[in-house]
Amino acid sequence: MASQSRHISEQIDRHADDVYEYASNPANLPEWAPGLGSSVENVGGRWFVETAGGRVGVAFAERNVYGVLDHDVTLPSGEVVHNPMRVLPDGDGCEVVFTVRRLPGMSDEDFARDAGLVQADLTRLKHVLEAG
């Protein structure tokens, strides 16, 4: 059975290539995605983020010309959560779309909280990139 999804998006007044370049670098996550975690570390070519629930692994899709920023988050339990994310060109700017998926057993409140955290992170990404 397919899971429930919610597409969260943000228009950013920067060229899609600029947004992709910045957002695809895991070292930038603490600046624009504190909803994911507070610090990031590269250990042996693998990226880890310190979260409230413990250390998680983050692996982005291979670099590509299509704006695909899908990434897998490996939770402390070993469970892997796949997160679809895209940077879509839109004239001189772009739209960033993140698909939040309801995990098995997730309450309505937790699903809404996750969606709100993602929206806050995308809004922060917009502010960081439009200011710079």
pLDDT at 132: 76
16-57 pLDDT, tens digit per residue, is 999 999 999 999 999 999 878 788 999 999 999 998 888 999
**Closest of 5, 1, 3, 2 to residue 114, by C-alpha:** 5
Q: How far is residue 98 from each of residues 42, 43, 46, 76, measured CA to CA in Å?
A: 24, 26, 22, 22
Sole residue written with tokens 């995308």: 122
Residue 2: what pLDDT? 58
What are the DSSP E strand ranges found in the chain?
Answer: 5-12, 39-43, 46-51, 54-60, 71-74, 80-83, 85-90, 93-101
What DSSP state is assigned to residue 68?
B
The phi, psi pair for 89, rounded to 5°, reads -60, 140
pTM equals 0.91
Q: What is the pLDDT of residues 4-18, one digit of tens each?
A: 999 999 999 999 999
